[in-house]
Amino acid sequence: MSTVGASGMPGASGGVGASRASATLQPEPGTAIGRFLSDGWIATRRNLMKIIRVPDILVFTLLQPIMFVLLFTYVFGAAIDVPGGYTSFLMAGIFAQTVVFGSTYSGSAMAQDLKDGIIDRFRTLPMNGAAVLVGRTNGDLVINGLSMLVMMGTGWLVGWRVESSLGGFLAGVALLLLFAYAFSWLMAFLGMSVRSPEIINNVSFLVLFPLTFISNAFVPTENLPTPLRIFSEWNPVSALVQSARELFGNVPAGTPVGDAWTAQNPILTVLIGIAVLLIVFVPLSIAKFAALGKK
Amino acid sequence: MPFIEASDLVKTYTPKGAPVVRALDGLSLQVPQGTVTALLGPNGAGKTTTVKVLTTLISPDSGSAVIDGVDVLADPDRVRRMIGASGQYAAVDENLTGFENLEMVGRLYHLGAKRAKERARELIELFDLVEAQNRVVKGFSGGMRRRIDLAGALVINPPVLFLDEPTTGLDPRSRLALWDVIESLVSEGTTVLLTTQYLEEADRLADSISVIDEGRVIAEGTADELKASVGGQRVALTLVDADETETVRGILQRHGTGEAVPSNESKTWVVPVDDGPTALSRIVGEVTAAGISLHDAGMRRPTLDDVFLQLTGHAAEDAAENEKGAA
């Protein structure tokens, strides 16, 4: 630990005072957009490394959907009678629930990073603040992509089949992931708004249990009590589930579909939902991040 | 012209259901280029808040801050290109290795992939972390963690370094090693602002010390100037039995020129005196006559502890204990 100067001048002995022994490293020339993309990638990479380094996250993320597929197929499947069989009905619901839950990770991870001080480290660097959020939500997207793969494999083993086209299948997957991605921005915003990571977990459960269970994800909703049925019809998760079912071709004749506009136009409903989430929470989150030092 | 200049910084917080906290209450500060200034004070005094303002992490309610002619509040991005920050708040990523952390910081300074890697390798060597470089930081010892943290602040070899309590919680050996690094940086012309609760650290590293209490600078100068300002000699007595404190205090007060105050060491009381040897022999005589036994009795030059005590009316470490978490 003799000299701490920058490269090029190892061991150069110091002029104390006005002149320094070695120069400050200057950034490479670059455009604002190029730097933003680079920062976004570095932040994403950091979150991906965390998935690899903290296996609990990955194991939990992958095991939970497997458990849900098996549990619902064999426990509830025996009791719920829908045309085409319960497995076919269920899978889109499990997909939707899992990716929406997966997106909550952005909330708890933001809260945790704030608490740990890593966000403060980033904020002393000349990086783009929005890139931190891009990296965060990208990380969720990757985790969700992985859990989709695992769920589809498990679903296939218990008899789920895509009964549409390749295009329909890809569109269904894209819609699920995109909705979850948009939801991640909402969660990232909440993650910066709470005082501790524990709070965000509780908030997530309070919001997500009704959102995913009072929907058509696991049961047909036409027999629900009226208030719950109305909630379910206007619940964006219902529209997401319905869209995925249609795109995967899991809607055999006789499958009940609600009369509400949202049930008749599920894909459009989901796209509107995604747009609203992004239009509202991307700028809000970026502004919230920029204002972290103002409170 | 000072390299770092903060003027009249005010920062208030309003905790829920509690009165307004004035974390900074008109704090002003100048750090000349190529020197080390230490902010000395207990937890909650405003040290970290000051550093957070200067490193662009928080905006003050009022006041101004300038680093090398650049306005910190108006142009934070330019400031971020010339500072390195390390300490309690600016953490490293626990799930990355030491090398990955430094490389990431280099990339975020936009050095480019190649230079970021080169610089990370260089710093890993300088900080004796070659063997640990590919281990995740989570498994690092406290000393290694501080080194990687400090290395992170040095990635661009910045002209200005902010170190927030760089050695808090370190064992004495790691602390000495870190002091060496900081001294070597300063010898190369880096300007350093560091905060510390340790008087010894300020004494060793700093060209100038600003004593902070309740969000204001209450005294500044070199360690020697500060010691001289409280003046004179001191007599210190260490009791065997704390029950006899009151009697001993009375005796000390009678012979001293000021208030007898407890030192950090337990059962030790200190009083300023005019004529050291005479006062010491009289005090010891009286204490012995009163049948009180002592572990230790002696004269000492004022320490920064005494400075702090005299200026704030409370001991540095006591206050730190009382105000834990208030920062």
Contact A53 B96 (CB under 8 A): yes
pLDDT value of position B265: 64
Contact B55/B118 with Cβ under 8 angstroms? Answer: no
Contact B157 A2 (CB under 8 A): no
With H, G, I as helix, E, B as strand and everything else as coil, classify residue B263. Answer: coil
With H, G, I as helix, E, B as strand and everything else as coil, classify residue A126. Answer: coil
Contact B157 A123 (CB under 8 A): no
Tell me the chain A residues in contact with residue B67 when contact means C-beta distances shorter than 8 Å: none
CA distances from A294 to B7, B13, B15, B56 (A): 19, 11, 15, 10
Q: What is the pLDDT along chain B (327 residues), one digit of tens a residue?
A: 789 999 999 999 888 888 888 999 999 999 999 999 999 887 788 999 999 999 999 999 999 999 999 999 999 999 999 999 987 765 889 999 999 999 999 999 999 999 999 999 999 998 889 999 999 999 998 888 888 999 999 999 999 999 998 888 788 888 888 898 889 888 988 999 999 888 788 889 999 999 998 899 999 998 888 877 777 778 887 877 777 777 777 877 777 777 777 776 667 888 877 777 888 888 888 778 777 777 787 887 777 777 777 777 665 554 444 443 333
pLDDT value of position B151: 92
Instruction: Please tell me which of the candidates A2, A17, A22 has its beta carbon nearest to residue B157.
Output: A22
Contact A117 B85 (CB under 8 A): no
Q: Which pair of structure tokens corresponds to residue A258?
A: 């609600």
Residue of B nearest to A1 (CA): B126
Q: In what order do the strands lie in the sheet with B62-67?
A: B21-31, B4-13, B62-67, B70-71
Q: What kind and span of H or E run contains B210?
A: strand B208-213
Rounded to the nearest angstrom, the minimum Cα separation between A42 and chain B is 7
Altogether, the residues listed in chain A come to a count of 295
Alpha helices in chain B (DSSP H): 47-54, 76-80, 98-108, 113-126, 142-153, 172-187, 199-205, 223-230, 245-255, 276-289, 304-312, 316-322
Residue of A nearest to B62 (CA): A294
Instruction: Please tell me which of the candidates A1, A54, A124 has its beta carbon nearest to residue B56.
Output: A124
> Residues A245-271: pLDDT tens digits?
999 998 877 776 777 888 889 999 999
> Over chain A (295 residues), what is each successive 10-residue block's mean pLDDT?
43 43 87 95 94 84 86 85 85 92 90 91 93 95 92 92 93 97 95 89 86 89 88 92 93 75 90 97 96 79
Contact A22 B186 (CB under 8 A): no
Q: Which pair of structure tokens corresponds to residue B127?
A: 């900080």
Contact B95 A49 (CB under 8 A): yes
- Nearest Cα to A143, choosing from A45, A244, A43, A48? A48
Q: How many CA atoms are closer than 13 Å to the CA of B241, on its beta-carbon side? A: 7
Rounded to the nearest angstrom, the minimum Cα separation between A72 and chain B is 35
CA–CA separation, A279 and A153 (whole Å): 34
Tell me the chain B residues in contact with residue A50 when contact means C-beta distances shorter than 8 Å: 93, 95
Residue of B nearest to A34 (CA): B110
Side chain identity, residue B57: L
Contact A6 B100 (CB under 8 A): no
Contact A293 B126 (CB under 8 A): no
pLDDT value of position A3: 47
pLDDT value of position A9: 36
Contact A14 B128 (CB under 8 A): no
Instruction: Please tell me which of the candidates B83, B91, B115 has its beta carbon nearest to residue A118.
Output: B91
Rounded to the nearest angstrom, the minimum Cα separation between B312 and chain A is 29
Contact A125 B115 (CB under 8 A): no
Rounded to the nearest angstrom, the minimum Cα separation between A179 and chain B is 28
Q: Is ipTM over 0.90? A: no
Of the residues A25, A112, A114, A115, the best mutation for testing chain B's interface (the one with the most B CB atoms within 10 Å of its CB) is: A25
Between CA B25 and CA B31, with CA B27 as vertex, the angle to 5 degrees is: 165
- Nearest Cα to B28, choosing from B227, B215, B241? B215
| φ and ψ of B268, to 5 deg | -110, 130
Instruction: Please tell me which of the candidates A4, A5, A46 has its beta carbon nearest to residue B104.
Output: A46
pLDDT value of position B271: 81
Side chain identity, residue B316: A
User: Mean pLDDT over all residues of chain A?
Assistant: 87
Contact A28 B110 (CB under 8 A): yes
Chains A, B: CB contacts within 8 A come to 144
Tell me the chain A residues in contact with residue B185 when contact means C-beta distances shorter than 8 Å: 4
| pTM score of the predicted model | 0.83
Instruction: Please tell me which of the candidates A3, A127, A294 has its beta carbon nearest to residue B188.
Output: A3
Rounded to the nearest angstrom, the minimum Cα separation between A261 and chain B is 45
Tell me the chain B residues in contact with residue A290 when contact means C-beta distances shorter than 8 Å: none
Residue of A nearest to B79 (CA): A126
With H, G, I as helix, E, B as strand and everything else as coil, classify residue B155. Answer: coil
